[in-house]
Amino acid sequence: MEGAEFWTKVKKRLKELDKKQDWLASNSGLLVQTLRNNIHNDRLPSLKDTLSILKTLNLTWEEFEHYPNLTSKDGIRNIPVSEQYFSAGHGQYVPDDYVETKDYVAVPNSLKYLGENIRAAYVRGDSMEPTFFNEDIIIYDTNGYDGNEGIYAIIYNGKGFVKRLQPTKNGVNIISDNKIYEPMFESSESDDFIVIGRVRYSVHKI
């Protein structure tokens, strides 16, 4: 990507967020004058500064590459479907770094209120049947656990799962909708249990 294209995308994103270059510099840890010089000269920032800018703009590199085409002219917003799988089975490895995009999926209008706090990924396994099937796409928020029973994307013992959570007095029951799988329990004080967010929608291939 050339510098001119990079900064054109940045300026469009700032306008969308109703923010100024000063805000971007301050929140990205950059000098305002350095930022403005780079923009004026169509000069690409360093890799470190690029990552800081994208984090401030709340975009992954994959999203930034396709931006502003994440939202079509008719108002439909598309988000990337991560290569990361969430297991409806025995758990899927969750990498520490960036995972590639496998596809894109349209966000239903009813979920637009979630703003940027929304992601999509594939399901792998059969433990959530008949709710989800292998290779279904789930759309989930990144707002953590809201304390209510429901289906969530979670990280449990370092692995990614999609499971039904049922709050209890001392923790949470981790339930598979497929009854051949035994439920699990995790204490509310556990460091091995992280709730990414609630599953809001699914796409099933017939």
pLDDT given for residue 49 in this prediction: 93
Which residue in this structure is represented by tokens 């209510």? 148
**Above 50 in pLDDT, residue 98?**
no
At the top level of CATH, the class of 3-66 is mainly alpha
CA–CA distance, 78 with 86 (Å, rounded to integer): 20
CA–CA distance, 159 with 164 (Å, rounded to integer): 16
| DSSP state, residue 7 | H
Residues above pLDDT 90, as percent of the chain: 45
**Above 50 in pLDDT, residue 93?**
no
Q: What is the mean pLDDT of the chain?
A: 84
Mean pLDDT confidence for 73-92: 65
Mean pLDDT confidence for 6-18: 88
pLDDT in tens, 173-184: 999 999 999 999
pLDDT band at 97 (very low <50, low <70, confident <90, very high): very low
CA–CA distance, 128 with 161 (Å, rounded to integer): 10
pLDDT in tens, 22-50: 999 999 999 999 999 989 888 999 999 99
**Above 60 in pLDDT, residue 88?**
no
- CATH 2.10.109.10 range(s) for the chain read 79-203
Q: Which of 47-51, 107-111, 124-128, 166-170 has the lowest mean pLDDT?
A: 107-111
Q: Are 162 and 151 in contact (CB under 8 A)?
A: yes
pLDDT band at 105 (very low <50, low <70, confident <90, very high): confident
Dihedral over Cα of 60, 89, 202, 187: its sign: negative
Q: Can you read off the two tokens belonging to residue 174? A: 């981790």
- CATH 1.10.260.40 range(s) for the chain read 3-66
pLDDT in tens, 122-166: 998 999 999 999 999 999 999 999 889 999 999 888 888 999 999
Q: 79-203, what's its fold? A: Umud Fragment, subunit A (2.10.109)
| Helix (H) or strand (E) segment spanning residue 122 | strand 118-124
| DSSP state, residue 170 | S
pTM: 0.62
